[in-house]
Amino acid sequence: MDCMYARKGGKLEKLLSVENLTVKFGKFQAVQEVNFELHSGEIVGLVGESGSGKSTLGRAVLGLTPFQSGSVKFLGQSLGKLSRKVFLKLRPAMQMVFQNPMGSLDPHQSVGSAIMEVLRVVKHATDEEAFSRMKCGLEEVGLDSGLAHRYPHELSGGQRQRVAIARALAVEPRLLIADEPTSALDGSAQAHILDLLRGLVRNRRIGLLLITHDLSVVKLVADRAGVMHRGRIIETGSVEKIWSAPSHAYTQRLLAAVPQWRR
C-alpha cells in the first residue's frame, strides 16, 4: 500500500481573515474587536491566560459560537453571510482538535472505525477505500496501523491525540484549530505532538491556529503569535520578537510563567 501524504507545492494563500470580531455573552464581551489573518502553511499561536477569550474566539471562527459584530472570512467567503447550505459545504475544511481527545472519541468505537466512519460519511469513501486511507492516516500521524482495532482507553494520551488529529485530517481540512492540544500531556508527549503538527502543516500546507495558555508551546512551533488579554489581542508579531522583546507587561508575565528550563 502506498501512502501519499505530502501535497507538493501549492501556493500559499490567505485562509482566514478575522476583522473586528466581537463576541458577547449578555453584556460581557468575551472577545473584543479582534483582528488577525492566517495563511496556508502557517502556524499562528494564540496565547493568553485562562479566561482571556481564546476558546471563544476559536469557536466563533468555526461558527460554533455566534458573534455580535465583525466578520470571519474563510477562503474569501464571509461565514456570517453564507446560506446554511453553503456553510455546511465549506465547514469540513475547518477542523478542530481539543485538549481532551477522550471527549471527542466514542469509547465504544475502535479508533480505526472512527476514522473510517468519517471517510465514508464526509468523503464518501467505499469501505475498501476507507480502510486503506484509515491505515495511511494512522501512519501519517506516527501510529502503527496495527493500533486500528484498539479502543480509545487502550491508548496513551499522546496516541489518543494522534488519533484525533488523524480523524480531523481524514476530512482533508485546509484549516486546523487546535485548542490546548498538548495541555493534558506530559513533557515528551507534548513535544512529539507539537513536532507532528508542525510537520503536517508543512507537508499538507494547511493553516494551524494553535490556542494555548503556554507561551513556550507557541515558541516551539508557531511562526507568528497574538497575545490575548481580556478578550483583546494586545500584542502581535513574530514569535522571536514576542519571546525576546515582549512589549506588554502582560506578555512579560506570561513569559515569567514559563519554567526556566523551557526558556
Ligand X SMILES: Nc1ncnc2c1ncn2[C@@H]1O[C@H](COP(=O)(O)OP(=O)(O)O)[C@@H](O)[C@H]1O
| 86/257 with CB nearer ligand X | 257
Candidate list 32, 40, 52, 55; residue touching Mg ion; CB under 5 A: 55
Minimum CB distance to Mg ion, residue 211 (Å): 7
Count Cβ atoms below 10 Å from residue 75 Cβ, excluding itself.
16
Question: Can you read off the three cell numbers belonging to residue 162?
Answer: 494522534
**Residue closer to Mg ion (CB basis): 47 or 197:** 47
Q: State whether residue 16 is helix, strand or coil.
A: strand
Rounded least distance, CB 199 to ligand X, Å: 26
Least distance between Mg ion and beta carbon 32 (Å): 16
Q: Which one, 22 or 132, has the nearer CB to Mg ion? A: 22
* Amino acid identity at 95: Q
Distance (Å, whole) CA 132 – CA 134: 5
* Residue 52's binding partner out of Mg ion, ligand X, none, with CB under 5 to 8 Å set by partner kind: ligand X
Alpha-helix residue ranges (DSSP H) falling in the chain: 54-61, 84-90, 111-121, 127-140, 157-170, 187-204, 215-221, 239-244, 249-256
Is residue 51 within the footprint of ligand X (CB under 6 A)? yes
Of 69 and 77, nearer to ligand X (C-beta) is: 69
Judged by beta carbon, residue 33 or residue 49, the one nearer Mg ion is 49
DSSP element (H, E) containing 70: strand 69-74
Contact string 2-31 vs ligand X (x = CB under 6 A)? -----------------------x----x-
Kindly indicate which of the ranges 49-57, 123-131, 235-243, 247-255 contains the residues binding ligand X, using the contact rule CB under 6 A: 49-57
Residue in 50, 83, 126, 188 binding ligand X, rule: CB under 6 A: 50
Coil, helix or strand at residue 173:
coil
Query: Going by C-beta distance under 8 Å and a sequence separation of 6 or more, which residues neighbour residue 167?
Result: 105, 114, 115, 118, 137
Of the candidates 32, 40, 55, 251, which one interacts with ligand X according to CB under 6 A? 55
Q: Examine residue 53 and tell whether it contacts ligand X (CB under 6 A).
A: yes
Of the candidate residues 16, 36, 44, 52, the single one contacting ligand X (CB under 6 A): 52
What are 199's three cell numbers?
510537520
- Residue 178 CB partners (closer than 8 Å, separation 6+): 96, 97, 197, 208, 209, 210, 211
Shortest Cβ 208–ligand X spacing (Å): 17
Taking the C-alpha atoms of residue 60 and residue 239, their distance in angstroms, rounded to an integer, is: 24
State the amino acid at position 220 in one-letter form: L
Chain residues that interact with ligand X, rule: CB under 6 A: 25, 30, 48, 50-56
